[in-house]
Structure 1
Amino acid sequence: MLPNNNHASEGTFVGRVWRPGIGPAIVTLRGDQVIDITSKTAPTMRDLLELADPIAYVRDTEGTVIATLPDLSSASVEGAGKDDLRILAPCDLQAVKACGVTFAESMVERVIEEQAAGDADRAEEIRAKVKERIGDSLSGITPGSDKAMEVKKILIAEGLWSQYLEVGIGPDAEVFSKAQPMSSMGCGAAVGLHPISNWNNPEPEIVLAVNSRGEIKGAALGNDVNLRDVEGRSALLLGKAKDNNASCAIGPFVRLFDDSYGMEQVETAELTLKVTGEDGFILNGHSSMTKISRKPADLARQTCGRHHQYPDGFFLFLGTLFAPIQDRDNPGQGFTHKVGDLVEISEPNLGTLTNTVRLSTECPEWTFGTSALMRNLAGRGLL
């Protein structure tokens, strides 16, 4: 679940765990012990990240041992009950935002989705045509630069201009709402696909933890579950394609920025993806943050500022290089999920986020929202 290299063992990890008979707890890791550090100072992850020095709070709070990490990991499975010990998504009151089309290579796949109008059967033909015209001309372009604007003119003249290229190489990043506060899934839980979708995939991403002041305090792994056919039919269906029951996973924990881990490590992160199907199919993928077209800090600035405030902070998906084209069933149809797929997203400094794919209509209904959290914390004397 967590990295076992020496560099990572120096890190400061925080997260959220459901404690039976109690409710959500803010935890940190000390060796293989999971420590509950919930207090009136930091009853929520939002409050912890708002502190002037979250590292000092985590270090100085004695807390209570609630489990070992191996035991917590074993308990955090798809079938865990509502009041069973398990890992929760590390965010709570924060908005969950996401940036799209931040990598040139995945940008081409978004164009293909649009040209195919969500039809996977047409994708391979269009992929060959688009790549013949575009090639690698988008690689290394700085969005909003003079060179980017020159490429834009060429693409318009060739009839290949797309709304995805606009946000990919134009001055303004795509930032959308991925999930509602309190709705994200944690490590071990099921992730959901809307049943209307027949062409979809995981998206392995780095997720920044940002407070209300726009300060980036740490990072985690995320799966921005993507419905390629729904979004491909129309960009106006983005909300339907992205925000569904159990369609967002974050975790397993947030690694706070300190002397051992920071933006340099985020910008050089190498993510790996493995999808293992019940049909024996295995997909291996990769996303390198070194190839991102926009700086992560700039994406955070475009999300939060004088133009838009987030009083409870936000978690920000940074996008992915990964776009699967490996055929799973019929030739030319590429990859799509099947119910029962096991998705593992890993990064050496952040660990592994594991989830099982189900339909959104089959995943447990989301019932514990913000009002439930406030009542729970008040009942525990934490508010």
Structure 2
Amino acid sequence: MSTSLSLPNDGTFLFRVWRPDVSGPSICALKDGVLHDVTCKAVSTVHDLLELENPAAWLTSAEGEPIGRLDQIALNSRETPDTSQPWLLAPADLQAIKACGVTFASSMLERVIEERAKGDPKKADQIRERCTAIMGESLKSVEPGSEKAAQLKDALVAEDMWSQYLEVGIGPDAEVFTKSQPMSAVGSGAAVGLHPASRWNNPEPEVVLAVSSSGQVKGAMLGNDVNLRDIEGRSALLLGKAKDNNASTSIGPAVRLFDDTFGMDDVRRLELDLKVTGEDGFTLSGHSTMTEISRDPLDLVAQACGRHHQYPDGFFLFLGTLFAPTEDRDTPGEGFTHKLGDIVEISCPQLGTLRNTVRLSTHCPEWRFGNRALMANLSSRKLI
């Protein structure tokens, strides 16, 4: 598997790296191909950095200890790293990890199909044909919460085609859920996990926003919001089981902080590519463009936090995906599902490449280093 992170030459990138010599994580800046540990008392966590008025300016000017070339650290960022050398982590620590669902019309349709198939992939094709015949392209032209959306709802209710997924897709309220716990996401190169009960699943390439406690967006990165189609399709009440499992979230390879070269308008225009390569020789390609998102990213941030809900440690927010694979992998009519050993690569020219190998959650390394362990480690290093 390639270890290139494919980062652009410009931009300010925030990395988080495990340092075996201090038995804990460090905040790192990239300078001339070398990662510099800039962790200090003033900025001992990613949270601290994102609370600054201008995180990019601070990271650019911070002096730190060089800990190794990025290409070498990326090479060691794999399922079984050399634990005597540094490796990349997900660039999040104290933040809640939230996600928005059903924010693109095509994936909205697939959620309806999952629900009506009750998690059975054999029924997907027939249901897809009926849904497409009734809805056509109508979902793509509707502004969520608008009068036109209300009229479409009435028409779909009359056809017995209304769904809870359409409610959050074109209704006034976005779906915002907890994807995983603070400190639980894995970084580029690590294994990403599937719950062993799932038999119908897929990757979800997404843009992830880094948001401060005041609700200000400070940067963006790539993420894989692993989707268990059968479990969530059986019941939306199983969303927690479908989404929040060991190693079920990958984020990285780094946060691109907002600066003069990159901002929210750039996020709105991002183009993501997905490639899945199986040990069986199967390959799958996909593409997602942020220009087709049905809700503006800042609207999603506002629906996630505000007077109704605060995040004192900030949060990372998955923005949803356009990608919903329907290509058959094995059995005709059953579409795509992962096989163990799949390599998932999510790439974007402005944000780099996030790579992970698909395993069962029960076979991925157990998540042991949580908030308490982080505080104890920082205290032992006299950083808090």
The alignment's TM-score, normalised by the length of structure 2, stands at 0.98
Distance 2:82 2:191 in 1: 12
- Specify the SS of the correspondent of 2:222: strand
Superposition map of 1:85-96 within 5 A: 85-96=86-97
Q: What are the superposed Cα offsets for residues 241-284 of structure 1, whole Å, 9 maximum, x if unpaired? A: 00000000000000000110011111111100000000000000
2:178 matched to which residue of 1?
177
Residue pair 1:46, 1:313 contacting (<8 A) in 2 also: yes
Q: CA deviation at 1:166?
A: 0.1
Code of the aligned partner of 1:295: D
Matches within 5 A, 1:75-90: 75-80=76-81, 84-90=85-91
- Letter of the 1:336 counterpart: T
Give me the whole-angstrom Cα distance separating, in 1, the residues matched to 2:10 and 2:364.
36
**Per-residue CA shift, 1:78-122, capped at 9, x if unaligned?**
112666411000000000000000001110000000000000000
What CA distance in whole angstroms lies between the structure 2 residues aligned with 1:252 and 1:263?
19
Partner of 1:129: 130
CA deviations over 1:10-38 (Å, ceiling 9, x no partner): 20000200011211000011121111110
Contact 1:15 1:45 (C-alpha < 8 Å) held by counterparts: no
Question: Residues 240 and 145 of structure 1: is their aligned pair in 2 closer, same or farther, counting only changes over 3 Å?
Answer: same
Match of 2:267 in 1: 266
* Structure 2 residue identity aligned to 1:172: D
Give the equivalent residue in structure 1 for 2:71: 70
Paired with 1:244 and 1:59, the residues of 2 have a C-alpha distance of 35
* Whole-Å separation in 1 of the counterparts to 2:308 and 2:61: 36
Could you report, residue by residue, the CA deviation over 1:299-344 in whole angstroms, capped at 9, with x for unpaired residues?
0010010000000000000000000000000000000000000000
Q: Which runs of 5+ in 1 are unaligned?
A: none
Contact 2:29 2:60 in 1 (8 A): no
Q: Identity percentage over the alignment?
A: 64
CA distance in 1: counterparts of 2:98 and 2:198, whole angstroms: 22
Aligned partner of 2:55 in structure 1 is: 54
Alignment map for 1:1-383 (pairs within 5 Å): 1-4=4-7, 8-22=8-22, 23-80=24-81, 84-383=85-384
Task: Single out whichever of 317-326 and 73-82 deviates more from structure 2.
Answer: 73-82
User: 2-side partners of 1:126 and 1:209: how far apart?
Assistant: 37
Cα distance in 2 for residues equivalent to 1:222 and 1:56: 25
Residue by residue, what CA displacement relative to the aligned partner does 1:207-256 show, whole Å, maximum 9, x if unpaired?
Answer: 00000000000000000001000000000000000000000000000000
* Contact 2:35/2:70 (<8 A) preserved: yes
Distance 1:138 1:191 in 2: 32
**Alignment root-mean-square deviation, CA:** 0.9
Q: Deviations over 1:32-90 (max 9, x none)?
A: 11111101111000100011221221122110111111101101011126664110000
Contact 2:200/2:338 (8 A) holds in 1: yes
Determine helix, strand or coil for the equivalent of 2:138: coil
Instruction: Check conservation: 1:18, 1:83, Cα contact below 8 A.
Output: no
The C-alpha deviation readout for 1:348-375, integer Å capped at 9, x for no partner, is 0000000000000000100000000000
Partner Cα distance (2:222, 2:300) in 1:
17
Equivalent residue letter for 1:361: T
Runs of at least 4 residues of structure 1 off by over 6 A?
A: none
The SS at the match of 2:97 is strand
Aligned residues: 380
Partner Cα separation in structure 1 for residue 305 and residue 30 of structure 2: 30
Structure-2 change in CA distance of 1:287 and 1:364 (3 Å): same
